Structure 1
Amino acid sequence: MIYLTTKEVADIRNCSERHIQAGVTSGMINAQIIMANNNRKKYLIPLNELTDAEQFKYYKSHAIPIPEDLLPERKSERPHKEFDEFSAVQREEIAEWIRILNAWDEYCATSKLQKVPATEKFVQLQKVANSDLKISKGILYRKKKALKADDLAGLLDNRGSWKKGTSSIPEEVWQCFLSFYLDEAQHPIQACYEYTEMWIKREAPQLLPLPAYASFYRKVQTAIPKPVEIMGRQGMKAFRDRCAPYIRRTYEGMASNEWWIADNHTFDVQTKGENGSIHRLYLTAFFDARSGIFTGCYVTDAPSSQATLIALRKGIVKYGIPENIYVDNGREFLTFDVGGLGHRLKKSQKDKFAPPPVFERLGIKMTNAIVRNAKAKIIERRFRDVKDRLSRLFPTYTGGNVVERPERLKKVIKSADNIPTDYELTQAVEDILTYYMNEKPYSGAVSSDSGKSRMQVYREQLKEKRVAAELDLNLMLMRSTRSQKVGRRGVHLTVAGEKIDYYNDDLILNHFGESVYCRYDPEDISKVRIYDLDDNYIMTAPTDNEAVLAYGASKDAVSQALRKVKSLEKLTKQELKASQITAFGKETALNLVLATAEENKANAEEINPKVISVHRADETAEQLPMAVGQSNIVTIDKAKMIRNLEQRQKEE
């Protein structure tokens, strides 16, 4: 606390010292009274008794740093803000100052003192009542002026706010730092700081020295948008999974069979095949999104488009034809004759004939999940139930990883009698999924269906069941070939690398050289149905081969992936690109570290120790007593010294 004499206060106020003394004795000015050497009273007045302008004058005349709250307010056009636009803490501060200003007006109106003395007295009372409150006459007048101007921001304590958001880091340096920080190598902040210093030292030494590491650390925490940081350091998939917007699906208005979701699952169970091999089978399943029941399921040793059609056929026979199917981008779902090529269709193939895919013939609309999207398919959550409620029932349960693997598994595998067969697993899967898991309580998003079984929900929400006659269904589920011309040996299928010909005399006589395509049943390839390119049925032709090969392998499929351009993803890409250094060009951290290492290597000093001590592993030396001040550095073999002395005496 700074105290002034009555003379110093009088000089600041440009009045007589006697006037200041009168103010002290009347109580208008607070002061401490001490006794001087001549036994006379001396008044010491605290500096904060003066107005802000008087305090400013004192600090300036004595070359003392001026406190921030006494500096003249920076003139800036502050945007008008309504009361509800401020934070909760700011609103409380504004309300407190409004109460104080109203109390000030009331005190001056009821006080017998003049306005200025009453204000000074009010300030003193507020300091006593609230010691933490920063208040003075000048502050009161400024707050009052702001309130009259409807400038609520002027009621806040804005000390230091003028520099909020500013940084001591030059923009060129920050851009360089971001070039290293926003990298999927995920360099630590300290390393990025060092790389930046290396780069600036080589390319822009005029920007040295860099601000402290703490400045970079703080700015990393506040100045980099989180989506930009995740995309730059963790990649696009992490950005899409954690930051990109997604479509929230609602189920209240959805009916049963409106959406089926399909996917494949690897059983965490080892089984034994017909040839004695031990392996793990796969489940191709369709799942009704509204009710949560498994509709069509098929156990196979390898997911394929044919396994997909078999599972779909089982589901359609029992539950009807779905309106929509939601699948991922696997080949087993998107073969040209099952789902179509979609966006993978080459430009050279766009004008070529393509037979109507199976889904299209069934009147099913197919939708594909976004590639590598973690949130895409809720069926994967149901596969967790398959693991917990089905796979764990078998003695050869393997667990999903090494940590989950049961200790008993090795012993069970050694005992071949305990290994379930493929047939046993297949039968158990169909029964458990249909008659156990489909009857479990509904656990979906519609709260009104809570407490019901999944099958009950399916039945209640089934508005329409689309069915097809068995012959029509067989026809719609047939596989198709690409277009081909009828040749001298008719038409053909290529199955498992073998070419199978189909023809008869009528086909050659009446349709030779015409472009056609074939539909066939993969489980019976002894004949094919032939159609023209307008999808008109021509005839059924038998195979010309003496032996019909079994259908051994499914055809490869290409998929159609939905591309959804997200505005946030595009914006984040632009922000990430803008965050890269442009002023001097980017240099990789590896090159900088290698260059720095090379410089250090060139400037390395040769190691020249003051003492070099030689040690031998195969000798044990006995040390002589050391003289005063002697350093225990060199070890001497006393016996050897005596022998050398005796040898010299003999020679003499």
Structure 2
Amino acid sequence: MWRKRAGRGGGHEFSLEAFPLDMRAALVLKTTSAEQQGRTAVLWQNYERLNDSAKKRAQCTHNILLAYQALIDSGEKKGKAAAAIIESSGISRRTFYANLRKVRNVARADWLPALAGGANRAGRKKAAVPDDIWELLKADYLRPSQPRFSDCYRRVAALADEQGIALPSEKTLFRRMQALPVEVRVLSREGVQRLKSLYPAQERDKTVFHALQAVNSDGHRWDVFVQWPDGTVARPVMVGFQDLYSGKILSWRVDKSENTEAVRLAFGDLVERYGIPEMCFLDNGRNFASKWLTGGIPNRFRFKVREEEPLGLLPQLGVQVHWATPYAGQSKPIERAWRDFAQSIAKHPRFEGAYTGNSPVTKPENYASQAVPLADFLAIVTAGIAEHNARKGRRSAVCAGVRSFDEVFAESYAASAITKATAEQRRLWLLAAEGQRANARDGSLRLLGNRYWAQELLEHRGQSLVVRFDPENMHQPVHVYQQAGAYICSADCVDAVGFADQQAAQEHGRARRQFMRAAKEQRAAEVRLTPDQLAEQYAPTEPEEEYLESKIVRPFRPQTNGSAALAAAPVLLADEEEESGRTARMLRLIKSDQ
């Protein structure tokens, strides 16, 4: 019933039968529930790690034992039930009783994982590897250069042999290396960008918008050599704006490089054609985050944000700017369009020989054999973007595999409230040429080889002015401002004409005569007095002379030479005479006292 406990600590051990029945039941329930829960969790965890073939073998054994237990529950004796099951199943007697031992003291609900042997397999000891050798192997294998594991194992095995250490096999250590967290292996060998791709991309529902409510923008360098008007050959860069709801490319500009001016002009084309969007998603590149576009936005994470800096174009128009991650197609869907253009437009037959390939290792055989003139390049790109927008069967959520970007945009645009830009707002995105000095004689301006003039410029002859213009439409009127920012006028382009062009000379003469006639009429309206009337108003008159009288008179006395000459005595006034008398009397009194 009880005995002294062997080992350190001493004490006594009691058998379960030494306790009353109710206490025995409580102890059994308490110990069984805690132990059984832990054992059950381990059994099923190990079972889940097994492959399908091991699970299938365990299920077959499980069915045999369930049949044996069913015979026992029906009243059959254990020996007869075991003999019948062994004969019918075809397993050996030794295997049958070995399986019975596996489920001894195991709840019937846990027989299946217990028969699978996962616990035994999980309990096996790993081959011992010294910590310094294991750390050395991990540091060698988990490098950005991605060495082969065989090379790493060979190096560390040579070092272990020198120290007299026996290592497990290469396959064993490779399995142990593969058991490290996959994110650790990917980060160490493939880098941050590859690790980022392991995390599921966010799915953004663009159907919450309507047409022109939100747009996104990015730059794209074409894989095509283009010959520019100045004779240089370079790959052009396109800046575009895309509608997020429909996926339609709304506007774009092409230049030699991605710059702030191209972004401003492309955005101006968007507003001019369709209206002002509510939101714009941009990456934090230097050209998109410049103060001329996004100045005044507190969360602009490029350049210094100063309180005194002027508002950029987008804040002035009330556009909410959201910064997107560069090279992230989930946050800027326009990058998906660039990938389409790289296949459907950049490989156009007209660009054969000018196509560069999308990387240095994919150069075509006829690399740089020709360059496409800029005019031809722009014509093909324009047609390609139009086809891209009009192509039916788009698989986006709003197109549903049937309609095109143009169709869904037009449908939503017609039913949406769109903000249009005023004439003053439309001048904001034009490029500014500062310090353009007006001609001192007629006030005309010269810009990029063109001459511009308006009558209002006469008041600003010789002054330094600011001119806003579109570099791709230089024959359109330009807008002229003072240096302080005040708007002056819109100046038309004055084209140069042929030296013997009589019709142009006549038109110029008529325009000049009209200008002079208008000036004369304005002068007549402003100057109402004739020269005679003006002379009469300013006729001279004789001034009246005022007689002045002196209060002090000095009489004239002739001067004489010699001792007998007497000096001219000054004529004293009444007050001076009285004072002189008092002084003489005082002198006499002083002498008499003496």
8 Å Cα contact 1:442-1:457 kept in structure 2: no
What secondary structure is seen at the aligned counterpart in 2 of 1:311? helix
TM-score, structure 2 as length reference: 0.59
Post-superposition offset of 1:407: 5.2
Post-superposition offset of 1:200: 6.3
Post-superposition offset of 1:234: 2.0
8 Å Cα contact 2:138-2:177 kept in structure 1: no
8 Å Cα contact 1:479-1:519 kept in structure 2: no
Give the aligned partner of residue 290 of structure 2. 335
8 Å Cα contact 1:338-1:479 kept in structure 2: no
Give the aligned partner of residue 477 of structure 1. 429
Q: How far apart in 1 are the matches of 2:258 and 2:106?
A: 74
Give the aligned partner of residue 137 of structure 1. 97
What secondary structure is seen at the aligned counterpart in 2 of 1:136? helix
Give the aligned partner of residue 454 of structure 1. 405
Identity %: 18
- For residues 70-85 of structure 1, the aligned pairs below 5 Å read 77-80=38-41
- For residues 389-468 of structure 1, the aligned pairs below 5 Å read 389-391=344-346, 392-396=348-352, 397-401=354-358, 413=370, 420-434=372-386, 436-446=387-397, 449-462=400-413, 463-468=415-420
Q: How far apart in 2 are the matches of 1:302 and 1:181?
A: 42
Post-superposition offset of 1:220: 1.9
Is the counterpart of residue 250 in structure 1 residue 205 in structure 2?
yes
Give the aligned partner of residue 500 of structure 2. none
Is the counterpart of residue 216 in structure 1 residue 170 in structure 2?
no
Unaligned 5+ segments in structure 2 are: 1-34, 434-446, 449-456, 458-464, 471-477, 490-594
1:527 pairs with one of 472, 481, 504: 481
What secondary structure is seen at the aligned counterpart in 2 of 1:214? helix
8 Å Cα contact 1:529-1:541 kept in structure 2: no
Q: How far apart in 1 are the matches of 2:94 and 2:278?
A: 71
Give the aligned partner of residue 157 of structure 1. 117
1:225 pairs with one of 167, 181, 184: 181
Post-superposition offset of 1:338: 0.8
Post-superposition offset of 1:446: 1.2
- For residues 10-89 of structure 1, the aligned pairs below 5 Å read 77-80=38-41, 87=48, 89=52
Is the counterpart of residue 319 in structure 1 residue 260 in structure 2?
no
2:66 pairs with one of 102, 106, 129: 102
Deviations along 1:301-329, one digit per CA (max 9) or x if unpaired, are 22211101111111222222222222333
CA gap 1:432/1:271 in 2 versus in 1, 3 angstroms: same
Q: How far apart in 2 are the matches of 1:313 and 1:299?
A: 14
CA RMSD of aligned residues (A): 4.3
Q: How far apart in 2 are the matches of 1:369 and 1:410?
A: 35
CA gap 1:121/1:420 in 2 versus in 1, 3 angstroms: closer
Give the aligned partner of residue 534 of structure 2. none
2:236 pairs with one of 263, 281, 284: 281
CA gap 1:273/1:109 in 2 versus in 1, 3 angstroms: closer
Deviations along 1:107-140, one digit per CA (max 9) or x if unpaired, are 346687xx242144135325x5346x97333532
- For residues 128-207 of structure 1, the aligned pairs below 5 Å read 129-130=90-91, 135-137=95-97, 139-140=99-100, 142-143=102-103, 145-148=105-108, 150=110, 153-158=113-118, 160-163=120-123, 166-197=126-157, 205=163
Q: How far apart in 1 are the matches of 2:468 and 2:219?
A: 23
CA gap 1:454/1:371 in 2 versus in 1, 3 angstroms: closer
Q: How far apart in 2 are the matches of 1:165 and 1:368?
A: 53
CA gap 1:442/1:168 in 2 versus in 1, 3 angstroms: same
Post-superposition offset of 1:165: 8.1
Deviations along 1:65-90, one digit per CA (max 9) or x if unpaired, are xxxxxxxxx99952437979954847
Post-superposition offset of 1:243: 1.7
CA gap 1:231/1:375 in 2 versus in 1, 3 angstroms: farther
8 Å Cα contact 1:316-1:467 kept in structure 2: no
Q: How far apart in 2 are the matches of 1:354 and 1:279?
A: 35
Post-superposition offset of 1:150: 5.0
CA gap 1:175/1:98 in 2 versus in 1, 3 angstroms: same
Matched residue type, 2:205: T
Post-superposition offset of 1:465: 4.3
What secondary structure is seen at the aligned counterpart in 2 of 1:80? helix
Matched residue type, 1:176: L
What secondary structure is seen at the aligned counterpart in 2 of 1:283? strand
8 Å Cα contact 2:267-2:429 kept in structure 1: no
What secondary structure is seen at the aligned counterpart in 2 of 1:330? coil
Unaligned 5+ segments in structure 1 are: 1-73, 414-418, 482-494, 497-503, 505-517, 532-538, 543-652
Aligned residues: 414
Q: How far apart in 2 are the matches of 1:97 and 1:461?
A: 65
Matched residue type, 1:473: Q
CA gap 1:185/1:279 in 2 versus in 1, 3 angstroms: closer
2:195 pairs with one of 234, 239, 242: 239
CA gap 1:92/1:423 in 2 versus in 1, 3 angstroms: same
CA gap 1:232/1:410 in 2 versus in 1, 3 angstroms: closer
CA gap 1:384/1:159 in 2 versus in 1, 3 angstroms: closer
Give the aligned partner of residue 570 of structure 2. none
8 Å Cα contact 1:273-1:421 kept in structure 2: yes
CA gap 1:421/1:134 in 2 versus in 1, 3 angstroms: farther
Deviations along 1:239-259, one digit per CA (max 9) or x if unpaired, are 22x323432222333322233
Give the aligned partner of residue 25 of structure 1. none
CA gap 1:345/1:389 in 2 versus in 1, 3 angstroms: closer
Greater RCO structure (CA 8 Å; 6+ sep): 1
Post-superposition offset of 1:160: 4.0
